[in-house]
C-alpha cells in the first residue's frame, strides 16, 4: 500500500473573504490549515487550524507561506506575486474567487498586475477589483473541493 502525503492549506488571511469556506472544506477532508496574517485573526478552535502571526511588513505573510509551500500545498491568496511564488514551488494556488493560478495563467496575471501598477503610478485612474459576490464564494468552494480531490488522486 502506498503512503499518502498530507495536503496542507495555507491561507493568506489578511482581507481573505473565504476563510470560513476554506475551514469547512478542510474539515471535510481532514486538512491541516495555516491561517497566516500580520494581525490577530479569530480562527475556529480546531487542532487542525493554526494561526500564524508574522511581523508587520509588506511581504512577511507571503514569505512565510512561500517558504513552506510546495507539492501537496494549496495556497489561497489574492496576491499575484505570492501566487507566482507558489506556482513556481509546485503548490496549487487559488484566488478567493476560485481562479486557479497555474503555469499557463500566472504570467498573464503578473503582467496585468504590473501594467495596472504602472498606470496607477503614472497617475491614471483605474478601477479596483469587482465586488465579491455569493457566486464567487460558490465558485471558490467548488474550485477548492476539485483541487483537494485532484491532489488526493495524485497521492497526497
Q: What is the pLDDT of residue 89?
A: 95
Nearest to 89 by CA among 75, 110, 77: 75
All structural domains of the chain with their residue ranges: 8-153
In the block, which residue shows the cell 509546485? 90
Report whether pLDDT(4) > 90: no
Please name the residues in contact with 104: beta carbons below 8 A apart, sequence gap of 6 or more: none
- What's the pLDDT tens digit per position in 31-81? 999 999 999 999 999 999 999 999 988 889 999 999 999 999 999 999 989
Domain covering 8-153, topology:
Rossmann fold (3.40.50)
Rounded mean pLDDT of the chain? 88
CA distance 94 to 77: 6
Percent residues over pLDDT 90 in the chain: 71
In this prediction the pTM is 0.85
Cell numbers linked to 61 = 505573510
pLDDT of residue 114: 57
Place of cell 514569505: 63
Amino acid at each position: 500500500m502506498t503512503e499518502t502525503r498530507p495536503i496542507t492549506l495555507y491561507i493568506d488571511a489578511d482581507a481573505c473573504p473565504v476563510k470560513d469556506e476554506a475551514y469547512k472544506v478542510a474539515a471535510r477532508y481532514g486538512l491541516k490549515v495555516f491561517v497566516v496574517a500580520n494581525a490577530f485573526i479569530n480562527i475556529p478552535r480546531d487542532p487542525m487550524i493554526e494561526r500564524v502571526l508574522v511581523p508587520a511588513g509588506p511581504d512577511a505573510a507571503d514569505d512565510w507561506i512561500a517558504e513552506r509551500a510546495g507539492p501537496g500545498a494549496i495556497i489561497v491568496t489574492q496576491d499575484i506575486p505570492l501566487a507566482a511564488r507558489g506556482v513556481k514551488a509546485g503548490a496549487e494556488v487559488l484566488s478567493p474567487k476560485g481562479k486557479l493560478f497555474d503555469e499557463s495563467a500566472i504570467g498573464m496575471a503578473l503582467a496585468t498586475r504590473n501594467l495596472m501598477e504602472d498606470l496607477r503610478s503614472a497617475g491614471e485612474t483605474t478601477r479596483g477589483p469587482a465586488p465579491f459576490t455569493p457566486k464567487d464564494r460558490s465558485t471558490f468552494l467548488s474550485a477548492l473541493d476539485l483541487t483537494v480531490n485532484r491532489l488526493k488522486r495524485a497521492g497526497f
